[in-house]
Structure 1
């Protein structure tokens, strides 16, 4: 995995960010909390390790929900735009300050948002009508 830089913004463009770090690629998360966060059948998340996240616009618009009811048992810090509600990124409290950021691909700019997920998390909760991503590891 190599170092990469990505940018993104929320729906209303009140919040924008830039992230640089080791690109671990995207995964789908089928846990019920991610389903509720996105209002969809899964969250399409792009993971960065050893990363530096800079909120380049609207830092005062970023709110955080501490999701302590996760399957992993760790508190997930879900960051979203207070103006439009777009989920922007999340952090696992167990790794806070260690450079692990998980970005929602729907808010990412450019080609990274089109990268096929390499894995699927919590597949036991996958919707029956969705057969999964062909070739993706079931984590």
Structure 2
């Protein structure tokens, strides 16, 4: 199943909640006009491999608030421990991971914080999958912490 996203060739009228972002080469760009539901640091094995890093900073936003230009490629993963399906969207030209579709939460989509043009003010409040965190990363004590998925 392919992710269904609103595609647009027109600009939206920006508000104070509008955020924009893009892949490294600029072939895929997006904007959303919504207050994020959460900003989460994920240490799961899939996020580590997907980003090529020790963790992923995930901005959860209302799916219907996202407008994307360009056509990302997608591949599906299934969580080894929780069985959750994810469609991971990335740029087919430069490979940048951009979005993740959550099958268990079709109302939300994950925007990869590193693709935002300006992530100012989006400090993570939660860390998940700490049992999979690299041993050289200490969790931030001021964040909610979960060994697996957030409850």
TM-score normalised by length of structure 1 = 0.85
- Once the two structures are superposed, the pairs formed by residues 15-30 of structure 1 within 5 Å of their partners are 15-30=28-43
- Does residue 95 of structure 1 match 2:105? yes
Post-superposition shift, 1:90? 0.4
1:122 matched residue in structure 2: 129
1:53 matched residue in structure 2: 66
Residues 22, 70 of structure 1: alpha-carbon distance in 2 compared, 3 angstrom cutoff: farther
Post-superposition shift, 1:91? 1.0
TM-score normalised by length of structure 2 = 0.79
Post-superposition CA distance 1:9-52 (Å, at most 9, x none): 00001110011234123111000000000001101111113642
Secondary structure at 2:19 match in 1: strand
Aligned length in residues: 131
Please identify which structure carries the higher strand content.
1
1:132 aligned residue (133, 136, 139)? 139
Gaps of 5+ in 1: none
1:111 aligned residue (119, 136, 146)? 119
Distance 1:63 1:7 in 2: 19
Runs of 4+ in structure 1 over 3 Å off: none
- Does residue 43 of structure 1 match 2:56? yes
Structure 1 window deviating more from structure 2 (82-91 vs 20-29): it is 20-29
Post-superposition CA distance 1:52-110 (Å, at most 9, x none): 21113x22xx00111124432111010000000000010111223x2x01111010111
Please identify which structure carries the higher helix content.
1
Compare CA radii of gyration and give the structure with the larger one.
2
Residues 133, 77 of structure 1: alpha-carbon distance in 2 compared, 3 angstrom cutoff: same
